[in-house]
A and B are shown apart, each in its own frame.
Chain A
Amino acid sequence: MSSAMFDLILQATLDTLYMVAVSGVIATLLGLPLGVMLYVTRPRQILAMPVLNQVLGIITNIGRSIPFIILMVAIIPFTRMLVGTSIGINAASVPLTIAAIPFVARLIEGALNEISPGLIESAQSMGATPWQIITKVLIPEARGGIITGLTITLVTLVSYSAMAGAVGGGGLGDLGIRYGYNRFNPTIMLITVVILVVLVQGFQSLGDYLVRKSDRK
């Protein structure tokens, strides 16, 4: 392999990591509160607001049901407005983030759902405010489930980011399509796939390790 080829692959790997990191972090920052809201506004929950809960649920479901490849194209005007362009890794990070927010939210909601209702009740009996229950009981107790959810999100983002290559998004998917598919270079195709597999394995192992470390049960 030429050194030019090596540089291309290295750059594409870094681009993929960049897209996954940016969208992963922003989606967590926005998806975590959304997930918590989906949980605490349920009927009979600590901030029961059934109407808001329904509305948030519907918005989340819409976000979850649009196929990523369609979402990516559909929000191009929004992407342009936000980052000034519709191609490249910054542009690809926008639909990745949008797709990941409802995904993260549902996984967080699921993790919170695993907490014994008795813990919430006992915090209430101590005079905890809803905010204190969220920060001192719900999120710490759901830590393992939340890390598992974020690991799943990162792995999903790796494969979504490869799809972003289809619209000139950059990264490993882009490389695989342009060099591997369009120029029919099976070596490049194989290398990109192997790197993607290694990335996914790496994220999963890291996630598993963190879950094990946080587990006190």
Chain B
Amino acid sequence: MIELSNVSKTYGSGDSAVHALQNVNLTIPKGTIHGVIGLSGAGKSTLIRCVNLLERPTSGSVLVDGQEMTGLRRRELNHARHRIGMIFQHFNLLTTRTVFDNVALPLELMGEKRSTIKNRVLPLLEMVGLADKAKQYPAQLSGGQKQRVAIARALASKPNVLLCDEATSALDPQTTSSILELLRDINHQLGITILLITHEMEVVKSICHRVSLISDGKLVEDAEVGDFFTAPATQLGRDFLNDFLQLSPPKELLERLEESPSEHTHPVVRLTFSGDAVSTPLISRLARECSVDVSILQAKVESIQDRTLGLMIAELLGSHEQTQQAMSYLAAHQLQVEVLGHVQRNV
């Protein structure tokens, strides 16, 4: 359980002050995976570091498992950090320690006995699939293997919370999905609460339960992943989604697109289907009931966790009244209709 209330972080003061975080409120229930997505420089990295106080918030409260972090003394803070694991984009393994000794480090820091350490480290290496690499050094491992070691290390002190700082950003897509799968398993098996920050929608899509969108140090959206992918509330959210889906009108069409309709133009619309609308044959009904023709320019179906999301860019052919009626028809059937512009009739 993580609870941030009114967390702000300001670097510098006066005119040169940088507001890295502004009044951030975020609650992450126990056992859930929460993603924070944003562009670089939006404050993601500061946000995640405020949870374990690698960055001290300028104001606000940070509760982890009910404990207020900002009021802790140095010793108490170190103690609290044993309950919060963290993994990083660049793994941050000690190069002079073997895989085994890297995973053992947090336990050594806690003053555990050598025998306890051994009993704890080996099962962890087993869990991340690297039991055979115990005696190797990080330099001998691939990026994905290094991140697995880092995950085992982060779990060594039996934390309740795992913070993932762009944990897959330095990995190729295939390795990324295997690391995400491991994180999902850990969340499942151990019931650990995971907060991850990323700039990749793929990461959010594949493992997060909820997602927050951060922009200029403010959380601008906070939604279930299914909702965020089907109906982002902000323009930035839509930009992320469109970028992820790679669904934008062909360049040739964009050049011909006019902003306002005239006598000889057709609307070009982006349709987003979710829920029941996906399985309903709406386009053919549209053609019958509103007597418009639909020319499909691009279409895509994505499944986001238990939801299905359909996207389509289409040109509606018919008289002004007919196309208006068609758009109302679609809206009435739970489709999102966004008019991208109007094109001249191809004669």
Closest chain B CB from A55 CB (angstroms): 24
A-side contacts of B54, CB under 8 Å: 121, 124-125
Closest chain A CB from B292 CB (angstroms): 58
B-side contacts of A217, CB under 8 Å: 95, 139
What total count of A-B pairs have CB within 8 Å? Answer: 67
| B260 on interface, CB distance cutoff 8 Å | no
| B88 on interface, CB distance cutoff 8 Å | yes
- Residues of A94-114 contacting chain B, CB below 8 A: none
- Given A121-B92, A140-B96: A126 and B109 within 8 A (CB)? yes
- Given A121-B54, A136-B105: A127 and B79 within 8 A (CB)? yes
Asked if A214 and B96 make an inter-chain contact with CB atoms under 8 angstroms apart, the answer reads: yes
Asked if A140 and B84 make an inter-chain contact with CB atoms under 8 angstroms apart, the answer reads: no
- Given A116-B90, A118-B88, A125-B54: A216 and B106 within 8 A (CB)? no
In the assembled complex, the Cα of A35 lies from the Cα of B86 at a distance in Å of 30
Interface of A (DSSP majority class): helix
Q: CB-CB contacts of B73-93 with A at 8 A, as 1s and 0s?
A: 010011111101110101010
A-side contacts of B95, CB under 8 Å: 141, 216-217
- Given A214-B96, A216-B139: A125 and B84 within 8 A (CB)? yes
- Given A128-B109, A140-B94, A216-B95: A122 and B139 within 8 A (CB)? no
Asked if A143 and B88 make an inter-chain contact with CB atoms under 8 angstroms apart, the answer reads: no
Asked if B92 and A126 make an inter-chain contact with CB atoms under 8 angstroms apart, the answer reads: no
Closest chain B CB from A145 CB (angstroms): 12
Asked if B52 and A125 make an inter-chain contact with CB atoms under 8 angstroms apart, the answer reads: yes
Q: A216 contacts which of B77, B81, B105, B137 (Cβ < 8 Å)? A: B137
| B157 on interface, CB distance cutoff 8 Å | yes
Closest chain B CB from A38 CB (angstroms): 22
- Given A136-B109, A140-B97: A126 and B157 within 8 A (CB)? yes
Q: CB-CB contacts of A122-152 with B at 8 A, as 1s and 0s?
A: 1111111100100011001101000000000
| A119 on interface, CB distance cutoff 8 Å | yes
How extensive is the interface on chain A, given as a class? 20 to 34
Count of residues in B whose CB is under 8 Å from the partner chain: 30
Closest chain B CB from A115 CB (angstroms): 9
- Chain B CB within 10 A, most for which of A116, A121, A122: A122
| B108 on interface, CB distance cutoff 8 Å | yes
Asked if A129 and B94 make an inter-chain contact with CB atoms under 8 angstroms apart, the answer reads: no
- Given A124-B54, A126-B106: A119 and B79 within 8 A (CB)? no
In the assembled complex, the Cα of A136 lies from the Cα of B79 at a distance in Å of 18
A-side contacts of B94, CB under 8 Å: 119, 137, 140-141
Asked if A216 and B96 make an inter-chain contact with CB atoms under 8 angstroms apart, the answer reads: yes
Asked if A126 and B81 make an inter-chain contact with CB atoms under 8 angstroms apart, the answer reads: yes
B-side contacts of A116, CB under 8 Å: 90, 92
In the assembled complex, the Cα of A121 lies from the Cα of B90 at a distance in Å of 12
A-side contacts of B109, CB under 8 Å: 123, 126-129, 132, 136
A-side contacts of B139, CB under 8 Å: 216-217
Asked if A126 and B96 make an inter-chain contact with CB atoms under 8 angstroms apart, the answer reads: no
Asked if B78 and A122 make an inter-chain contact with CB atoms under 8 angstroms apart, the answer reads: no
In the assembled complex, the Cα of A122 lies from the Cα of B156 at a distance in Å of 14
A-side contacts of B74, CB under 8 Å: 129
Asked if B92 and A127 make an inter-chain contact with CB atoms under 8 angstroms apart, the answer reads: no
- Given A126-B106, A126-B157, A136-B109: A118 and B78 within 8 A (CB)? no
- Given A116-B92, A136-B105: A126 and B82 within 8 A (CB)? yes
Asked if A118 and B82 make an inter-chain contact with CB atoms under 8 angstroms apart, the answer reads: no
Closest chain A CB from B20 CB (angstroms): 15
B-side contacts of A132, CB under 8 Å: 109
A-B contact pairs, 15 of them (CB 8 A): A116-B92, A118-B92, A121-B88, A122-B88, A122-B92, A124-B54, A124-B81, A125-B81, A125-B163, A126-B81, A126-B105, A127-B157, A128-B109, A132-B109, A141-B96
A contact residues vs B (CB 8 Å cutoff): 116, 118-119, 121-129, 132, 136-137, 140-141, 143, 214, 216-217
Q: Which are the 7 A-B pairs with shortest beta-carbon distances?
A: A127-B81, A127-B78, A122-B92, A125-B86, A118-B92, A126-B106, A216-B137
- Extra pairs beyond A122-B92, A128-B78, A136-B108 (17, CB < 8 Å): A116-B92, A119-B94, A121-B88, A121-B92, A123-B105, A123-B109, A124-B54, A125-B85, A126-B105, A126-B153, A127-B77, A127-B79, A128-B109, A137-B94, A216-B96, A216-B137, A217-B95
